[in-house]
Structure 1
């Protein structure tokens, strides 16, 4: 069974998505997600000009060889664009293999380790009271794990809180350039501990609580925050600090027992190797779309399991339902799965483009038993929503210094 064609689709039903369709000479096809938020067209060009021509005629069953070909064969290894492109192809090939076998992908990985996949939802509010009201609404829906984010008093915009805006396009107005946001660590500290103090008082101790710092703090500031939040028993503190220097997490780890999670921007196992093997983190949050697909995420999960690190894949709305399905199959299989981030399945328009039978009930998701990944893609519906250039925001300190967004 040979690869006969590879098609790339870019559609924007509220967010941009890059979808890869690998077609074989017997008519079967597979789907993959190659979305790289804010750099989508770089991946599209890479796929169209440099990847697709090299794969025509190759055996569609040779997933491992093709992965190595696209990783080792380019000489310029790693990188967000390269790994997103590999991911799109890799997911599509796993989808094809499942369809040929007549089995869902999780069966090809080794079968289920659990009946359902635990999810955490987002409660983001304009102030602490608003955040907790939204958290209560999620608990009423059955969610047992909730990420809390609240606007920081004194800052016009806060990560995770869009106010009356629905998406980043609205933040950018009529000029599709990166919006700029201010950041103040002291103002943040004045809010965040009070948020979790009130959360435990109002929500009780049975719900699991999480928080995303989004890399705004230095390691010693993160250490202080982790220690201050210890009384509130977080499931994990996400992206407390940038870890390009992986030794930074030694500083955080030696000062707090609050569990730590990181990895959504990582592209390979090498980005998190030291963090995992030195047991500096508790959850690895790498996403299949950003890190080379199912093949490489399975490697990361296996490696992490040796060191008692759990998986908690990134699940932001800039990943399409194809990526979410890939995560579901991995989550159902991985013996060291922790929890899956969940923000819904996108706009109504997105749900017309990407169809599936993944069920969500009482804060858990149930993987599809359809052959392959279990997601269909409506090309006609996708064509109704053309690409719109968009960027994630840029962050600056109040004195104008560029900071981490």
Structure 2
């Protein structure tokens, strides 16, 4: 009921955590990964990394360079709209157009007029998409106009099914984002995937930074049910330092194969099980 009234961000986040935990418990109880409970096979899911917002463009350039050297091919940067064009120019001048760059503006542009100016100027630097550009994030008419200039991604902050449908019908985005940790969990995400299939729109899976790799695993299990190509957002850090994962993590893909979510915090693993063999590896 909460999900049907208002934006409900806090309530939706609480429900998400409970729902994901219940799916994890059910998978472990039945001896299956969640994706098998949904009737699908596990597969490699394409991945991109999201970086923090840096204090200056020089620091951003150095950070992007480090991750390009490590083999990451799609990188999301977070910028205020006042600095986004200069940042993209710097990155293209130094690293060329081979790495795909996503620009998250975190709903910072106050008006459609300013947004048009930015979109027209930044388009020559070929961002893969611009995420959440407008301060008024539900102004779908304005987003539709901007989406004709540069592809837009959004939807992580849409907390009801009816609003999700309205965004799709308005053609506000090229990539509709799903985040299981924000919108009501795996159960709600499945509903949205089914709607996306009906409308034949592209999906991308958003990562909420404070949820870490557990939320990413939940996104993975629903992502394999999608009808088209998709991307799953992750941080650039190494999950194996804190988690035991049955699966694989590469620079441009990932897969979770264990029971339930397929991920377990190391602090929760009994000592007698710490040395058990698992199919766990990270490719360079």
TM-score, structure 2 as length reference: 0.81
- Give unpaired runs (5+ residues) of structure 1: 1-70, 151-158, 160-184, 382-405
Which residue of structure 2 aligns with residue 146 of structure 1?
Answer: 75
In structure 2, relative to structure 1, the CA distance for the partners of 1:334 and 1:112 (3 Å cut) is farther
Q: Does residue 19 of structure 2 align to residue 131 of structure 1? A: no
SS in structure 2 of the partner of residue 290 of structure 1: helix
Which residue of structure 1 aligns with residue 257 of structure 2?
Answer: 369
Q: Displacement, 1:377?
A: 4.7
* C-alpha distance in structure 1 between counterparts of 2:4 and 2:76, whole Å: 40
SS in structure 1 of the partner of residue 183 of structure 2: coil
In structure 2, relative to structure 1, the CA distance for the partners of 1:246 and 1:108 (3 Å cut) is same
Q: Does residue 61 of structure 2 align to residue 98 of structure 1? A: no
> For 1:57-113, what per-residue CA distance to the aligned partner results, in whole angstroms no more than 9, with x for missing partners?
xxxxxxxxxxxxxx37x9857612322232222212222332233221112223247
* C-alpha distance in structure 1 between counterparts of 2:133 and 2:167, whole Å: 13
Aligned partners of 1:284 and 1:312 also within 8 Å:
yes
SS in structure 2 of the partner of residue 376 of structure 1: strand
Which residue of structure 1 aligns with residue 156 of structure 2?
Answer: 264
Q: Displacement, 1:240?
A: 0.4
In structure 2, relative to structure 1, the CA distance for the partners of 1:316 and 1:278 (3 Å cut) is same
Q: Does residue 88 of structure 2 align to residue 196 of structure 1? A: yes
Runs of 4 or more off by more than 4 Å in structure 1? Answer: 74-78, 344-348, 377-381
Which residue of structure 1 aligns with residue 280 of structure 2?
Answer: none
Q: Does residue 125 of structure 2 align to residue 236 of structure 1? A: no
Determine which of 239, 248, 253 is the counterpart of 1:359.
248
Which residue of structure 1 aligns with residue 214 of structure 2?
Answer: 322
Aligned partners of 1:124 and 1:134 also within 8 Å:
no
- Give unpaired runs (5+ residues) of structure 2: 270-284
* C-alpha distance in structure 1 between counterparts of 2:222 and 2:260, whole Å: 12
In structure 2, relative to structure 1, the CA distance for the partners of 1:97 and 1:196 (3 Å cut) is same
Determine which of 201, 218, 237 is the counterpart of 1:309.
201
Q: Displacement, 1:257?
A: 2.6
In structure 2, relative to structure 1, the CA distance for the partners of 1:203 and 1:239 (3 Å cut) is same
Which residue of structure 2 aligns with residue 85 of structure 1?
Answer: 14
Q: Does residue 141 of structure 2 align to residue 247 of structure 1? A: yes
* C-alpha distance in structure 2 between counterparts of 1:281 and 1:113, whole Å: 28
TM-score, structure 1 as length reference: 0.59
In structure 2, relative to structure 1, the CA distance for the partners of 1:121 and 1:140 (3 Å cut) is farther
**Larger of the two Rg values belongs to structure:** 1
* C-alpha distance in structure 1 between counterparts of 2:203 and 2:191, whole Å: 12
Which residue of structure 2 aligns with residue 45 of structure 1?
Answer: none
